Amino acid sequence: MNRQELIDQVKEEYASIAADADQQHFHQTTTEITSEAYYEKLLNAVISEIKKGTFDNCQTSSEIIYKVAADKSILSEWGNND
């Protein structure tokens, strides 16, 4: 799958995840950030890595999302733009 297709699919999946996030639960388990802001930041970091080729071995957007969920250190920009 090409990178742009992966980006488009990742955007759709993260939008769905963010929409399903229980805002009250999210605030109880994180610092002062909304679920929308968290997933937007995460999406931007993932898109950046897709463009760099970090996930070229992934065949689906779900595979990328699972990898990131398991280990956010794979995202070079994660935590650097607080």
The closest of 20, 24, 13, 3 to 66, measured between CA atoms, is: 13
Summary mean pLDDT of the chain: 84
Confidence of residue 70 (pLDDT cuts 50, 70, 90): very high
Classify 41 as helix, strand or coil.
helix
Task: Summarize pLDDT for 15-48 with one digit per residue, the tens.
Answer: 888 777 765 555 555 566 777 788 889 999 999 9
pTM here is 0.80
**Domain extents in the chain:** 3-74
pLDDT band at 7 (very low <50, low <70, confident <90, very high): very high
Q: What is residue 82's predicted lDDT score, i.e. its pLDDT?
A: 45
pLDDT number for residue 44: 94
